Every structure is written in C-alpha cells, then in structure tokens.
Structure 1
Amino acid sequence: MAIQLGIRPIAVLLSLAVGMIGAIAHASWASYRPPANIGRPGNREGAATRIARPMLLRESTGGTESCLTEPKQTVVALVPKDNNGLTSTSTPTLYSFIPANRGAVLTLTLRDPQGTEVYRQERPAPTAAGILGWPVENVSLKNGVDYQWQLTLTCTNGTTALKTLSWLRPVPLSRSQQQRIVQAKDVAAAFAMAGYWYDVLNQLAKQRLAPPENAQLQQKWQALLQSAPVQLTNVANQPLLPWPSQP
C-alpha cells in the first residue's frame, strides 16, 4: 500500500508537467508578433458576387446555381487579422482556405502600390474543402514594397465569384535574424517571433505535408491560427491540400 501511495503523487506530478509543457508550447505559438509599421485595408474573407450572364449561356451551362456545396463556406486568405504580413523572400507561398465546390477556377493576382498587375496565374480549384498554398513563381518582388494579392474563385458555370484582398511586404532578414533562425531548433517559431507571417506559415505547412503526420505540428498550426493577432479559428482545423496540377 505504501508503494502505491508513493507512485500516485509521482504520476500526478508527471501529468502536471506534461500539461505545463503543452501549455508553454501553445503559448509560444500564440505569440506571433505582427510588425507595427505596416497596415493597409483589405478583405481576407471572400464575399460572393453574382455574375450576370446571357440567357442562352445560362441555359448552356446548366443553370445559375452557385457551384459551392457548402453555402456557409467562403474563400479565406490565411493572413493576420490586420490583413498584412512580411515575407523574407521575393517569391513567397500564399495560403488560402478553398470552400467545397462542384467546379471552379482560382485566379491569383498581385499588384504594386500603383495598381499595376505584376503577377497573374489561374489554376483549377480543388473540389474538396481545405487549405491550399500557392507558390508565387517567375516574378521577383521588390524589397520594402507593399503588394496587394487577390485570390478569386470563379464557378465554372460562370455564376459566382469569391474574392479576397490582402497584402504582403518583402523584407530581407537582418544578419542577426538570419543567425537566430539558422541556430534555432524550431525555425518556424523563430520566424513567428521575428514577425515574418508568410515564412512561419509556409514552414509549418511544409512540415505538416511531409510524412508521417505529426499531431504536435497540428497543434502548433492551430495555436498560430487561433492566436490573438490572427483569429482564424474558423479554418484552423481544415486539412492542407496538395498543389493542383496545371490546367
């Protein structure tokens, strides 16, 4: 009996220690630090727009019903609540939640502060709901410039379009930041503390997509998206989708 009484307190202490470690890990991922020197308006959640079509075209495409299979879902850009973020690279990967649909096309465009389009690509949208990362390729963005990126989902029957408007600013890492990230055991956490939103998100996403599945990475991902500066709880549990093939 004495042995059993001795084991129980130890088990309780171990349980508390594990809980404290989990709480500390969650707290660290809830401390993404958004830069204080950026801020532009936008809309990270897409609002549906009905597209007027001639009667003949409506009939030939099978009607005017939206292609979305879950009416409460919409396109959501994975950006902080202020709709802005830094990237350490001129070719970032941009992440968005794509709603379930019966057939749609995604269009990604980037514009400079003068409104000039510097990037435009189209891809078929995945039909299953989930989070998709879009690597921006074949364009070199200028450091220190705010670029507006817009993701549009258009139903292939031409009836509904969903648009988001968000911002990114390429800023190279300083020498001290580079050293901290190179030496960090957790690179994504180092990017989070430095305030580089698109880098931390891409680091975690790549780790999550690499086999085998890791429950701890899922917890970090959820903690980041649910943190106070981000507040994307509505899509934090959505699966990551593979990059779609060329149209």
Structure 2
Amino acid sequence: MNKEQYCLIKLCFTFTLTFLGLINYSLLGLAQPTSSTERNSEQIQIRFPQQSSDGSSRGRPGGRGGTGSRGDCPPVDVQLTALIPSSNLGSSVEAHPTLWFYIPYKSSEVAGAEFSLQDEQNNDIYRTNFTLPTTPGTVSLSLAQAPPLEINKKYQWYVKVYCSQQKLSAPVFIRSWVQRVALTPELEKQLKTATTPRERIAFYAQNGIWYSALTELAKLRAAQPQNTTINNDWASLLRDVGLENLIQQPVSGEVNLQKK
C-alpha cells in the first residue's frame, strides 16, 4: 500500500466516524423531551377556589344532592348529585355549556327522567326528557339545543328522576344554577397564552369558571383514560368542591335527549 492509498483510507475512515457521530447526536436529540412547554404543562396544578363567579362566597338556593321522595326508587349508597361547587352556582364561558351530574340508578330501575332550564323568575327556557345510560355513573347533558345563555344572567336547572311507571310518587331531583360569564380583556389575553389542554383547564379552574374547566377535563380524561396526571386532576377538582364520593365513580357518557 503506497502513501497516497493510506491517506485516502484514513480520510474515509475519519469521515465515516464523523458522519456516524452526527447521526447519533441527532437521535439523542430526538429522544429528549419535546419542549419546555410540555415540561411546564406537567408541572401545572389544577385547583378550583371555593367561590362563586363574582368573587364572593355567596351561593344560590337549591340542592346539588338528590332531594324529594325516594318513592319507588331503590336505595343507593351515593345519591343523585349535581357536579357543581358547594355554592350551587357554576359559571361557563360557553353560550351552550355542558352540565354534569351523577345518576345512581340503572336505566332498568327508572321509569323516566326529565331536565328543565329556567330563568330566575321560574320561566321555562328549555325542557326535555332523556334516557339514562345502562349503568350508574357520572353523565353529561349538553345545552346545544337550548337557547343560548345570556351573559351575566343566572339560570336554574333541574334533573328529575321518576322510578314509578305511573309517576305517582314525587321524583328524586336536583336543582342547581348556571351562569354564563364574559372574560375581561386581561383574562382573554391570559387564555390565549394557554397552549395545551391542561393549561386551559387550569386557567378556567383558577378563575372559578367551573363548567368550562370540568367539561374540558372530562373530555381529556376520556381521550386518555390511563393518564395518571389527568386522573389526579379529576380527583383534585372534585375534592376541591367537596365531591370526594364521586372520584371513583365511572363516567358513563352523555345522556340521550328526547324531544317532547
């Protein structure tokens, strides 16, 4: 082997090592956390302050726990319950929010269920019957078919469950309140900086916007049921409003609305 051949081989060998090193560096880079945004998102704590949307501790009359005669309904360990702060008033930025409540009965145990939305003068805004899921659990009811809620007005909503086929006995029912709120320009600016779902949920929760926080978290949890962080978020949010007894209850999905 002459000197020129030796130099050529050495040069090729050096180039090969350099090329392999660059590939290895790139692969290591890909294996690193994707961005500081995702790392910061994991550090977010989703907590809900126990106050109403106007910043006070004043609530609204009603009952988030089932009231009325049990009638023919079977005994249950956890009663019909609205997922709402203890003030019994929950706010939303949506004109057509989604409401949440826990149904302790199987569909086979219930003769019928009714939902109604009223203004503060007890005038009906929207009323419908609905079908329960097959098994007990936390359910959602969308107001997509109801008239849009007006900003800063409070509405009361009822869920009534009848277990008697003839509806002879009084229903078990819950009565809670919802209010649509508008974000201030400063809060709008803050929301725009929330680039991940958990950041948006944390924003809504920290600002006392209950229904928006709960609904977005429920959707995220449904999409990632094995995600420990999201499951802990769900537990933390319910614990903050005194609904620890619902943490382990399954989410059964959306109820089926029936036009009257």
State TM-score, norm by structure 1.
Answer: 0.76
1:214 to 200, 211, 227: 227
- Take 2:137 and 2:255, find their aligned partners in 1: how far apart are those partners? 12
Aligned length: 206
Map of 1:167 onto structure 2:
177
1:115 to 110, 116, 122: 122
Q: Is the 8 A contact 1:133 1:243 kept in 2?
A: yes
Cα deviation, residue 77, structure 1:
0.2
Letter in 2 for 1:164: I
Query: Once the two structures are superposed, what CA deviation does each residue of 1:148-172 show, in whole Å capped at 9, x if it has no partner?
Result: 1111111252356211111111112
Cα deviation, residue 103, structure 1:
3.3
1:49 paired to 2:78: no
Higher CA-based Rg: 2
Q: Is the 8 A contact 1:77 1:97 kept in 2?
A: yes
- Take 1:113 and 1:182, find their aligned partners in 2: how far apart are those partners? 33
1:77 to 76, 82, 85: 82
Change (3 A) 1:208 1:112: same
Q: What pairs up with 1:105-144 in 2 under 5 angstroms?
A: 105-138=112-145, 139-144=147-152
1:147 paired to 2:155: yes
Letter in 2 for 1:136: L
Query: Once the two structures are superposed, what CA deviation does each residue of 1:197-233 show, in whole Å capped at 9, x if it has no partner?
Result: 0100001011111245322111100101101xx1001
Q: Is the 8 A contact 1:141 1:170 kept in 2?
A: yes
- Take 2:206 and 2:212, find their aligned partners in 1: how far apart are those partners? 11
Q: Is the 8 A contact 1:103 1:156 kept in 2?
A: no
Secondary structure of the structure 2 residue equivalent to 1:234:
helix
Q: Is the 8 A contact 1:103 1:125 kept in 2?
A: no
Q: Is the 8 A contact 1:107 1:122 kept in 2?
A: yes
Q: Is the 8 A contact 2:141 2:255 kept in 1?
A: no
1:32 paired to 2:49: yes
Unpaired segments ≥5 residues, structure 1: 1-20, 52-65
Q: Is the 8 A contact 1:79 1:197 kept in 2?
A: yes
Q: What pairs up with 1:57-72 in 2 under 5 angstroms?
A: 66-68=72-74, 70-72=75-77
State TM-score, norm by structure 2.
Answer: 0.72
Change (3 A) 1:156 1:242: farther
Letter in 1 for 2:181: V
Unpaired segments ≥5 residues, structure 2: 1-39
Q: Is the 8 A contact 2:115 2:129 kept in 1?
A: yes
1:187 paired to 2:196: no
Q: Is the 8 A contact 2:93 2:181 kept in 1?
A: yes
Query: Once the two structures are superposed, what CA deviation does each residue of 1:64-84 show, in whole Å capped at 9, x if it has no partner?
Result: xx343x533321000001111
Q: Is the 8 A contact 1:75 1:163 kept in 2?
A: yes
- Take 2:150 and 2:256, find their aligned partners in 1: how far apart are those partners? 28
Cα deviation, residue 108, structure 1:
1.3
Q: Is the 8 A contact 1:33 1:193 kept in 2?
A: no
Change (3 A) 1:144 1:217: same
Secondary structure of the structure 1 residue equivalent to 2:253:
coil
Map of 1:92 onto structure 2:
97
Give me the identity figure in percent.
28
Q: Where does structure 1 differ by over 2 angstroms across 4 or more consecutive aligned residues?
A: 28-39, 70-73, 100-106, 156-160, 244-247
